[in-house]
Structure formats: C-alpha cells, structure tokens
Structure 1
Amino acid sequence: MRIAIVSRIYRPEPSAASSFLGAVADEATSRGHDVTVVTVRPPAGLAADNPVESVRMLPVLRDRSGYVKGYLQYLSFDVPLFFRLLVLRRPDVVLMEPPPTTGLVVRMACALRRIPYVYDAADVWSDAAEQATGSKTVIRVLRAMERFAMQGARSLVTISQGVMDRVRAMGVDRPMTVTGFGADTTSFLSPSETTAPTDRVFLYAGTYSPWHGADAAIDAFTKFSRSHPGYRLRFIGNGSERELLERRTRELGVESTVDFVETVPSEELLPELHHAVATIATLRPGTGYEYAFTTKAYSSMAAGCPVIFAGPGPTATFLDRANGAVRAGVVCDYDADAIAEAMVVLADAPLSAGQRQALAAWTAEEHSLAAVAARVVDVVQAAATDSDRRS
C-alpha cells in the first residue's frame, strides 16, 4: 500500500520524533509498502543518506536557534502542506505527527480526499502549552484544535497509558493503541571494553522546557560539587529555558563547570552517553503534566548509561521496574538535595563495563525502536484496511 508520513521534523534532523518516524518508514518499506514523507528541509549542514522512502521537503521558517518551533514556524509548514496533500499521489493512509495545527490541516485535506489518517499522540500539546502561556483563550483554541484533529483520525497511537487516559479525558473516543516509545538500540557500548569508560560528567540530553524543570539539576549539581569537585554538568539539546538555565549557573557561580551544547546527531551523542557517569531527567510536579514519559531515558539506557530521574509519573515506575532486572539508575524526588544524593551514589559507585553492557542489552531486548515501529505500522495497515472495507 501507499503510506504518507507527515511531520515538521524528520531525519537527518536529530530528535526523538525523527528517529521514531524514520524507524516507522524503515519498517513499512521492509514490508513492501511505498512510503512518502512530507517534511521540511533540514538545517544547513545536515543531509540524509539515500533513504529508501521518498522524502518531499518543503521550505520552512526556523526560530533563532534553528528549530521549527513557534506559531509562525508551524504555519510556514502547515499552509503549504495543505496544498501539497491535495496534489500528492493518493496514499492509502497518512501517519501524522503533531503539532495540532498540522493535525487540523491533515484532517481537512484527508476529509476532502476521503483518506484515513493515524494520529501520533505521543504528547498532549494543549497541556504542555499551559506552562508556556497564561492566556486561557490560547489554551482553549489549541485544545479545541487538538481534539478536532484527534477525533478525525481513524486511529491513534501513543507512548503510554497515561497519555491515553488524558486523551480520553479530553473527549476523544477514537481507537487508540499504546505502542510505547523505544530507543535506537542498534549502537551499544563496544563488547571489547574491559573497563567502564566513565568521564567525570553528568549529562542532561534533550529538551528543557518549563514542565521539565531542568533548573533543579543545576541546583543539585551545585550542591554535589561541594563534596565532589572536578565534575561537569553538560546540557546537550534545546529548549525555551536556555536563558533561564544559563542565568541560574551564573547566580550559583557554577557557570565554568556547566556546558550548553546544541543538539547533535545521534552518532555524536552516543560517545557522550558511553562516557558519562549518568544522565539526568526531570519532570516538575504540579504542572498537570505528570502523566508524561521522559523518553530521553530510553536512549540513555540503550547506550548503557544509567539515568537519574527526578519527579512524578510513569518514568519513575519504568525505572523502578528496570532496576529489578539491571542497574538502570536512581529514582528520586524532584528536589535539589535528592538529586545531589543520587549523583553522589553514581559518582562513588559508577556502573562497571559489564553492568553497562547488561543495561544496553536489556533495553535492546525490551524496548527497541524497531519493535515499537512494527507495532505502529500494524496500526497504520489496519487503518487503511478498515478504510477499504468501509468504502
């Protein structure tokens, strides 16, 4: 069948969504399907390696940091997308990635052409937006748009039961499947390593937005450094809190030991994960976003790097369960003292090479991106087949 994937971000641009959608495209083409991806031109300096799928790239506005993030940037993709979908060779089904503005466009274009679509509800954008704006009008409009886009889908896929419950609470009653959200487990710590290659570095790799509350990691690192000088805290990624975090390091006098690095491709991030003591993931309580899963934990564990998770939600449950099988990291309260204590635990007793290997192997077996992609393609195929029966 012909499958179209619609997303404002796709490989080679590094992100969790890019890896996920790329894996879905790989799985679909391996089953003999014809896959077309409608996305944006990647930033300068990034080029895709001869993909099997057909990739149609649209010009797009980017923000100052180079990302397609913000209302104008989204619209610069969504408006031409509407017309591109109207003239695209008719697919049997469309898989779409939010934001809700893209969902609105996909629903309208697919309705005109009577094409079923599958909505990837990895997140609830209107809940996240409550942390970025105090405008109730903006939130109401965004929530209505998001509900409209979800409700028009033939099926939805999501990463966790928590997101599914939240979507149901919004009044969306379409068929929905929890597929999980795996990690790219194709690259691991080399089996030839006889000693754990640990640098004196803690990593925060990924997005740092208001609901993440990454400033707690800086407060914790300041406390930790008093008893463990010589370590560094490294942020690799992007987020709306960049200036706030940089200001916090200056206020605490640790700016010389905290690094901020732009998002890098996964092949460049992997050595950082291999050599770090641990990664840090946070989720601020009381935001109404406690059901969210911090997917950066998957990538860290896939590289054999333990995770310090601070906050509520399903990530804590996941890590607790993983710790029953391997040494996956430390779960603690969202509190600077608690995070600092977790850093001490892993700095004083870092994982051995064997423990890192075991962690990577367990993650590969239990939570590979390929396995998740296969479940998503099953849903996409079913949506197209169901549409054929109805027509």
Structure 2
Amino acid sequence: MLVTIVSRIYRPEPSAASLFLGAIADELTGRGNDVVVLTARLPKRMKAPRYAETVRTFPVVRDRQGYVRGYIPYLSFDIPLAFRMLFMRRPDVVFMEPPPTTGVVVRVVCALRRIPYVYDAADVWSDAADQATNSALVIRVLRAMEGFGMRGAERLVTISQGVVTRARALGVRRKIAVTGFGADTGAFAPDPAVPVRPLFVYAGSYSPWHGAEALVDAFGIFSADHPGYTLRFIGNGSERELIEERAGAAGVADAIEFIPAMPAEELLPHLNEAVASMATLRPNTGYDYAFTTKAYSSLAAGCPVLFAGPGPTAPFLREANRHVRAGIACEYDVSQIAIAMAQLAADPSSAEERVALGRWTAEEHSLSAVARRVVDNIESAAARSEED
C-alpha cells in the first residue's frame, strides 16, 4: 500500500508523538508498504537522518520555543496541508495526528478524494484546552472541530479506555482501537555503569493541566532535610514563569534547572543518573482520564517514576510494582509528593533493579509492539474501504 502520515511534528524533533509516528513508519515500511510523511520543516540547525519513508516538509510558523503550537502555527501548517493533500498522489489510507484543525483538513480532503483515514486520538484536545482558556466560544469551536475530524475517520486508535469514553461523548461511533502507548526501548535503556546522582528529572511539557508547580513546592519541603539535590525540568511549557516564581518563593531557585527539549539519545543520560523521574496531573480539570506517557520512557531507561495525580497512571505503576521496582504513585498533594521524594532518596534503586525495570518494560510495553497494533488497524481500515 501507499500510506500517508500527516503530522505537524515528526522525527527527529523531540516529542512522544515523533517517536510514536516514527515507530509506525518503521513498521509500515517493514511490512513492504510505501510511506510518505507530510510534516513541518524542521527548526534551524536540526538535521533529519535518512529514513525508509519519504518525508516531505513545508515551512511553518513556530512559537518562541521553536514548537508548532498555537492557533497561528497550527494554521500555518494546516492551510498549506489542504493543497498538499489535494495534489499529492492518492494514497490507500491516511494516518493523521491532531490538532483538531488538522483533523478538519484531513476529513474534508479525504472525503473529496475518497481516501479512508485513521485518527490518532492520543487524548482529547478540547478537554485540555478547557484549562488553557476561559473562552466558552473557543472551547465550543474546538470541540466541534475535534468531533468533526474524529467522526469522519474510518477508525481511531488511542492509548486508553478513558479517551474512548470521551470520544463517544463527542458523538464518535466509529470503531476505536485501544492500542496503548509504549517506550522506544531501542533508544531508552538502563546503563548500570552510570552512577545515580542526587537528581530528580521532569521530562516533557509543563502546561496548566499538568500542574508541575506542585513539584517545586514539594521539592522545597524535601530540600530542607535533603540539601544538595537538583530538580531538572527538560522540555517546555506555558507554566515556566509560574514554576520559576514558586521556586523563588520556596527558596530553591538555585537547585532547579531548565533545559530545552532534546532527542531521546540526549535525554537518556539524564534518566540514567536520576533517582527518579517525575510526572503530575492536576485533578478536576476534566482531563483526569489521561495517561502520562512520559512514564514509559523513564521506565524503559530503568528510572523509577514518581507520579502525583488522578487517572490510569497511578494504578499502572502500582501494578508494575508487583513485578519490578517501578516507583511511587501518590495524590496530587505537596506533602505527599515531598514524602515520596524522601522515600526514593533514602532507598534509591540499585543498578540491578534498574536493569530489571528496563528489561520488564521492553518485554511488556515496547513502542514496537504498540506500532504493530496500530499498523494492523491502518491496514484493516484500507482493506475495509476497498471492500466498500
């Protein structure tokens, strides 16, 4: 088959979506399919390695941190995308990554050209946007666009049953396959030769619905009895100023570091030397069903996870702890987070435990296994369309 992947972000840009889409492209080409990726031109000074798939880029507007994020950047990708899809060689199926504006473009063009498409519903964007804006009009428009894009798909794939429930609430009646989300176990692996340092790492975006500022407050309490530790934020987000303010108020500004997002191979050493990685999800945001996918990469690297918040991540970690030493899950509460940090610092995982954690993650939650399930659905969507 000829498969087109549509996404504003693609490898080698550092993001969970890039790793995920790259694994899908690898699985598709490994099965003998031709793959064309329509994506954004890479940021300056970033070079793309050669892949088996064909990657076609187009200039886009990026925010101050270099990401395609926000209304204008999205439109700068989506408007040219409509023409790119109209005049490209007709594929057998399209696999698309949100935002919802991209879903609108893909549905309209695919309807005109009678192309089936599969929608990657990793989460529900309109739920997340509810925490970023007070405009009811914006939320209604975004929810309408998101539902429109989802309802036109031949089928959808997602990471958890919680997203299925929310998609049904948007009127989606198409088949939705829960394929999960895994770690790139080729890029993330333990290194027992790397000594663990007095370091906690938060790797990923820090937006309002994450509530990562609670980690800073907890770190302030923790640091009173555990001087010499560092809390390192690797990534980007709209809450940086708030986090910096909280760090100053807690008296730990000198112990908190901010590093831009980086590719997996550069992130790995940070995870290898950290006592634990950290992840949060603010409760009562309408986003409580979300899974914090950054946990997979940390576990694959053998680095335990400290998670604070609601949703499926906490029970996942508790179940994992039955097999390996995976970390600690607690409520989204500053005092509980501080206690969990102290517990991890007092008894850090040994090199053998970290190797066992990485091995278990590779066996149970590899990104390649998830990619196989997603590609099964892509190929099935194309076959079903041909039958119709």
The residue number in structure 2 matching 1:143 is 143
Q: Which amino acid aligns with 1:262?
A: P
Alignment of 1:275-314 (within 5 A): 275-314=273-312
> Quick check: 2:191–2:272 contact (8 Å CA) kept in 1?
no
Deviation string 1:307-364 (CA, Å, 9 cap, x unpaired) is 0000110000110110010000001111111001111111010000010001000000
C-alpha distance in structure 2 between counterparts of 1:355 and 1:382, whole Å = 40
The residue number in structure 1 matching 2:260 is 262
Following superposition, the deviation at residue 190 of structure 1 comes to 3.3
Alignment of 1:4-19 (within 5 A): 4-19=4-19
Alignment of 1:368-379 (within 5 A): 368-379=366-377
Given the alignment of the two structures, is residue 182 of structure 1 paired with residue 173 of structure 2, yes or no? no
C-alpha distance in structure 2 between counterparts of 1:60 and 1:386, whole Å = 34
The SS at the match of 2:241 is helix
Alignment of 1:1-391 (within 5 A): 1-187=1-187, 188-190=189-191, 193=193, 197-390=195-388
Q: Which amino acid aligns with 2:123?
A: D
Unaligned runs of 5+ in 1: none
The SS at the match of 1:137 is helix
TM-score, normalised to structure 2's length?
A: 0.99
TM-score, normalised to structure 1's length?
A: 0.98
Deviation string 1:152-203 (CA, Å, 9 cap, x unpaired) is 0000000001111111122111111000000111141236x3xx62011000
Deviation string 1:91-145 (CA, Å, 9 cap, x unpaired) is 0000000000000000011011000000000010000000000110110000011
The SS at the match of 2:204 is strand
Following superposition, the deviation at residue 253 of structure 1 comes to 1.8
The SS at the match of 2:28 is helix
Q: Which moved more, 1:168-177 or 1:93-102?
A: 168-177
C-alpha distance in structure 1 between counterparts of 2:330 and 2:58, whole Å = 43
The SS at the match of 2:319 is helix
Unaligned runs of 5+ in 2: none
C-alpha distance in structure 2 between counterparts of 1:118 and 1:66, whole Å = 28
Q: Which amino acid aligns with 2:3?
A: I
TM superposition outliers: structure 1 runs of 4+ over 2 Å: none
C-alpha distance in structure 1 between counterparts of 2:132 and 2:161, whole Å = 25
Q: Which amino acid aligns with 2:140?
A: R
C-alpha distance in structure 1 between counterparts of 2:23 and 2:47, whole Å = 17
Following superposition, the deviation at residue 269 of structure 1 comes to 0.2
C-alpha distance in structure 2 between counterparts of 1:327 and 1:276, whole Å = 15
Q: Which amino acid aligns with 2:350?
A: S
C-alpha distance in structure 2 between counterparts of 1:197 and 1:168, whole Å = 47
> Quick check: 2:9–2:17 contact (8 Å CA) kept in 1?
yes
C-alpha distance in structure 1 between counterparts of 2:2 and 2:87, whole Å = 15
Q: Which amino acid aligns with 2:160?
A: S
Q: Which amino acid aligns with 2:177?
A: T
Following superposition, the deviation at residue 211 of structure 1 comes to 0.5
> Quick check: 2:155–2:381 contact (8 Å CA) kept in 1?
yes
C-alpha distance in structure 1 between counterparts of 2:248 and 2:347, whole Å = 30
Q: Which amino acid aligns with 2:223?
A: S
Following superposition, the deviation at residue 77 of structure 1 comes to 0.2
C-alpha distance in structure 1 between counterparts of 2:190 and 2:177, whole Å = 32
C-alpha distance in structure 2 between counterparts of 1:176 and 1:106, whole Å = 18
The SS at the match of 2:298 is helix
Kindly tell me the number of residue pairs found equivalent between the two proteins: 387
